[in-house]
Chain A
Amino acid sequence: MSDLSEQVGEDKTGTRFWAGLALPGMAWLAVFFVLPFYVILCIAFGSVDPIFQTAAPEWNPLQWNTAAFEFVLEGLFTSGAAFQTVFLRTLLYVGIATALSLCIAYPVAYYIARYGGRWKGLLLAGIIAPFFISYLMRMLAWINLLQDDGWVNDVLVWVGILDVPRNWLDGRASSVILGLVYGYVPFMILPLYAFLDRIDRSLLEAARDLGASPFQAFRMVTFPLSMPAILAGIAIIALPMFGDYYTPDLLSGAPQTSLIGNQIVLYIRGGQQIPVGAALVVVLMLFLTVLMGYYIYATARAQRRLGS
């Protein structure tokens, strides 16, 4: 970049060349990612065709109709209304599943990063394996295990925890949360591992030299250092969980475990009130954007603290 001045002419064609390379991909994202968001808005603010019951999008933002949003917001802010119940349930399930995932992911990632030694390759293969197994197949495995005459019941009855086999798949929060944790925890272990593996060991040695016990060294050095990775891990699994509808459908299928994703599917694919479904998607997006904003803020704060 030092000889920039003599290359100004050169740089201009260079810029055009690089921009040209990026153009097809950018056009793709514009048409199939950015544009669809505008269409969602036009449908959420549109109306329903009175004869065909299909969505009638309103392309002109000046004539947007807020009926669908009013319906959704009223449902969200009336206590006891269906939307509010489902939304609070989603928050609860995602919160519990994320917390449990962190409790599982952190020790595993920490062990592999610090003490993996010559087993590291094998252990890593073990935590990466779920990435190559379809999420739905992993849920299918639990459907098999949780059947009335399945192995989970066999073991629980044999150990004596249960007297008679229990039906685990008839609308239990515990089954859905188990499914969420089982499904998403690998996505948290990997970033945590990648981060913990990079922590400079001399920092820990310094802490020990200064008289810290191993636990103190962990509490005062490793843990604060890994804060950004913890936040990233939470964001990575919580965001998709908020849009999950297949885990409750497969492991419960009952309305009492219905999540916000199930409501969206109901309205969008059920066909009757597509604008309501679109409005739900927009509200979910706004909510997740706020969460993302907090995540970015918290990460910046954690990094600032480490810097000082």
Chain B
Amino acid sequence: MTRLRSWLANPWGKPRFLVLFTALYLAWSIVPILVAIRFSFNEGRSRSTSQGWSLRWYTGDPDLSVLHDPTMHTALLQSLRLALIAVLVTVPLGVALAVGLTRWRGRGSGTARGVSLATLVTPEIVMGTALLLVFLNLLTFVELGTMAQAIGHITFSLVFVVIIVRARLLAIGPHYEEAARDLGASQLQAVRLALLPMLVPAIVASGIIVFAISMDDFVISNFLSSGTSTDTVPVRIYATGRTAPTPALNALATLTLGATIVIALLGFLLWRTVRAARGQAGSTVGEFAALDAETIR
């Protein structure tokens, strides 16, 4: 109560202004999404005003709902398919690359590290154009569509796995493998039995990140799509966002968001479980977030 009174007395004192500012920012960032989700449950056709509640645009409408419009549910399936392929290929590839690059100090390791970081700063439009042109002109055995899109997703998400796993490797240090080697393990055994179990939390975390950025990707999916049958959800939103006559597109976007959240939550629970099993303390959202922040940095 005293705090409220002092806030009212001087709302522009430093932290007070910042409280307000941060609250406004969070509202501005989240409310439009909630509004878009709300319109997906509209009973009427409007995408800009509230018109009752129904599941019409999810399942009800016989032609235009996500369930019955083939361009819509194929897009959702294509998004999920690409994200799954990206996780399954990128995570092993990235873990091996991270371990190799961190421990290997030979000639070429610096260049390889530089190249993997270069993928991080390359705008997607550049990578999209480059891959499109290479598939059309040189590696012509890769057909546009799922194959080409999957290659694109793997290429740009590889660096995220490398960064997350590398950070963990540097924290672990080389002692555990050395101990395993001293006890008679071969190099492969040392990696598999000593190093890999300690990397599990980082591997799970990088899997979630890869899934999320693959689901989020638009440019690569758009450039390398072969037509409506391989359009992902973001590509559908781009193609019909301005002209869509009904809230079915909102319903599609909401379902996609739901899928991403479910996977992220499952991943988070898995991450927490393995961390607890490894005796690493402090498994909070904040820790996980810090990990994410670390990655972006």
Q: B-contacting residues of A (Cβ < 8 Å)?
A: 13-15, 17-26, 28-37, 39-40, 42-43, 55, 57, 104, 107-108, 110-112, 114-115, 120-145, 147-151, 169, 182, 185-187, 190-191, 193-195, 197, 214-215, 232, 235-236, 239-240, 242-246, 249-250, 253, 261, 264-265, 268-269, 274, 277-278, 281, 284-285, 288, 292
Smallest Cβ-Cβ distance to B208: which chain A residue: A132
Is the CB–CB distance between A144 and B223 below 8 Å? no
Smallest Cβ-Cβ distance to B233: which chain A residue: A134
Counting CB contacts under 8 A, is B53 at the interface? no
Is the CB–CB distance between B256 and A134 below 8 Å? yes
Is the CB–CB distance between B104 and A24 below 8 Å? no
Q: A-contacting residues of B (Cβ < 8 Å)?
A: 14-15, 18-19, 21-22, 25-26, 28-30, 32-33, 35-36, 39, 46-49, 93-94, 96-97, 99-101, 103-106, 108-109, 112, 115-116, 118-119, 121-127, 129-134, 136-139, 151-152, 154-155, 158, 162, 187-188, 191, 212, 215-216, 218-219, 223, 233-234, 237-238, 241-242, 249-250, 253, 256-257, 260-261, 264, 284-286, 289-290, 292-294, 296-297
Query: Smallest CB–CB gap between B274 and chain A, Å?
Result: 20
The 4 closest A-B pairs by CB, nearest first: A22-B100, A25-B97, A243-B123, A18-B104
Apart from A141-B35, A264-B125: 19 A-B pairs, beta carbons within 8 A? A15-B104, A15-B105, A18-B99, A18-B106, A22-B96, A22-B101, A39-B138, A42-B137, A107-B22, A112-B22, A115-B18, A128-B292, A132-B216, A134-B215, A134-B257, A135-B234, A140-B237, A141-B33, A182-B29
Say yes or no: A21-B125 contact (C-beta < 8 A), given A15-B106, A125-B285, A145-B32.
Answer: no
Is the CB–CB distance between A292 and B121 below 8 Å? yes
Q: Please give, as numbers and ranges, the residues of chain A lying within 8 Å of B223 by CB-CB distance.
A: 268-269
Instruction: Give the contacting residue for A37; candidates B101, B130, B136; CB below 8 A.
Output: B130
Q: Please give, as numbers and ranges, the residues of chain B lying within 8 Å of A215 by CB-CB distance.
A: 14
Query: Smallest CB–CB gap between B68 and chain A, Å?
Result: 20
Complex Cα–Cα for A14 and B22 (A): 51
Say yes or no: A232-B129 contact (C-beta < 8 A), given A115-B15, A130-B29, A142-B32.
Answer: no
Smallest Cβ-Cβ distance to A229: which chain B residue: B297
Query: Smallest CB–CB gap between B207 and chain A, Å?
Result: 14
Instruction: Give the contacting residue for B261; candidates A126, A130, A132, A281; CB below 8 A.
Output: A132
Q: Please give, as numbers and ranges, the residues of chain B lying within 8 Å of A292 by CB-CB distance.
A: 121
Say yes or no: A111-B15 contact (C-beta < 8 A), given A134-B233, A138-B33.
Answer: yes
Smallest Cβ-Cβ distance to B152: which chain A residue: A32
Most buried by B among A13, A33, A215, A264: A33
Is the CB–CB distance between A151 and B238 below 8 Å? no
Is the CB–CB distance between B112 and A26 below 8 Å? yes
Complex Cα–Cα for A123 and B26 (A): 8
Q: Please give, as numbers and ranges, the residues of chain B lying within 8 Å of A250 by CB-CB distance.
A: 238, 241-242
Smallest Cβ-Cβ distance to A169: which chain B residue: B242
Is the CB–CB distance between B284 and A121 below 8 Å? yes
Query: Smallest CB–CB gap between A11 and chain B, Å?
Result: 9
Overall SS of chain A's interface: helix
Is the CB–CB distance between B137 and A57 below 8 Å? yes
Instruction: Give the contacting residue for B97; candidates A22, A42, A107, A143; CB below 8 A.
Output: A22
Complex Cα–Cα for A138 and B256 (A): 12
Q: Please give, as numbers and ranges, the residues of chain A lying within 8 Å of B249 by CB-CB distance.
A: 140
Is the CB–CB distance between B129 and A151 below 8 Å? no
Say yes or no: A124-B297 contact (C-beta < 8 A), given A144-B39, A278-B129.
Answer: no
Complex Cα–Cα for A142 and B32 (A): 7
Is the CB–CB distance between A135 and B218 below 8 Å? yes
Q: Please give, as numbers and ranges, the residues of chain B lying within 8 Å of A19 by CB-CB distance.
A: 100, 104, 106, 108-109
Q: Please give, as numbers and ranges, the residues of chain A lying within 8 Å of B284 by CB-CB distance.
A: 121
Is the CB–CB distance between B97 and A284 below 8 Å? no
Is the CB–CB distance between A138 and B125 below 8 Å? no
Is the CB–CB distance between B97 and A151 below 8 Å? no
Q: Please give, as numbers and ranges, the residues of chain B lying within 8 Å of A140 by CB-CB distance.
A: 36, 237, 241, 249-250, 253
Instruction: Give the contacting residue for A268; candidates B132, B187, B293; CB below 8 A.
Output: B132
Smallest Cβ-Cβ distance to B156: which chain A residue: A33
Complex Cα–Cα for A115 and B46 (A): 42
Query: Smallest CB–CB gap between B122 and chain A, Å?
Result: 8
Is the CB–CB distance between A136 and B94 below 8 Å? no
Is the CB–CB distance between B97 and A136 below 8 Å? no
Complex Cα–Cα for A265 and B128 (A): 10
Instruction: Give the contacting residue for A144; candidates B36, B105, B256; CB below 8 A.
Output: B36
Q: Please give, as numbers and ranges, the residues of chain A lying within 8 Å of B118 by CB-CB distance.
A: 33
Say yes or no: A40-B133 contact (C-beta < 8 A), given A107-B21, A137-B36, A246-B238.
Answer: yes
Q: Please give, as numbers and ranges, the residues of chain A lying within 8 Å of B253 by CB-CB distance.
A: 134, 136-137, 140
